[in-house]
Amino acid sequence: MKQPMRRSRSQWEAILREQEKSGLSVRRFCDRESIRISNFYRWRSRLSGESSPAENTNESPVFIDMGQVDRLGEGEGGGETESYPARLFEVVLDLGDGVTLTLRRS
């Protein structure tokens, strides 16, 4: 299997400019240039200053406390009890670009 090409920061900056000028969608541009679309988006995010909180050392990571998700709706034996009625649990994450991740527990 062919090893992916490692590019420098300046090369990625040039690639991003070229894609903008090309008028092509990101997918078409990446196909034409044999670039992994995930790498393109990662570098675009990194270079535009929209890096994830874990990559940005100046900010604390964003954390949402969901409580005890693993015990929600379960009693000591793992089933429904009077003190722990069974409840629907659903989390929907919009990952952008039309992609969503849904976690559902019923």
- What's the pLDDT at 72? 46
Lowest mean pLDDT among 2-6, 31-35, 60-64, 72-76: 72-76
| Mean pLDDT computed over 31-50 | 88
- What's the pLDDT at 97? 79
Residue 50 has pLDDT above 70, yes or no: no
- The number of CA neighbours under 13 Å toward the Cβ of 93 is 4
Tokens standing for residue 18: 């070229």
Own/partner contacts of 21-29, CB < 8 Å, gap of 24 or more, are none
The SS3 call for residue 17 is helix
Q: Which position has the token pair 């969503």? A: 100
| Mean pLDDT computed over 39-51 | 82
Dihedral angle of Cα 6, 7, 12, 13, to the nearest 10 degrees: 160
- Contacts of residue 37, defined as CB under 8 A and 6 or more positions apart, other chains included, come to 26, 27, 30
- What's the pLDDT at 82? 57
- The number of CA neighbours under 13 Å toward the Cβ of 44 is 15
Residue 51 has pLDDT above 50, yes or no: no
74 or 44, greater pLDDT: 44
CA gap 40, 50 in Å, rounded: 14
* pTM, to two decimals: 0.44
- What's the pLDDT at 17? 94
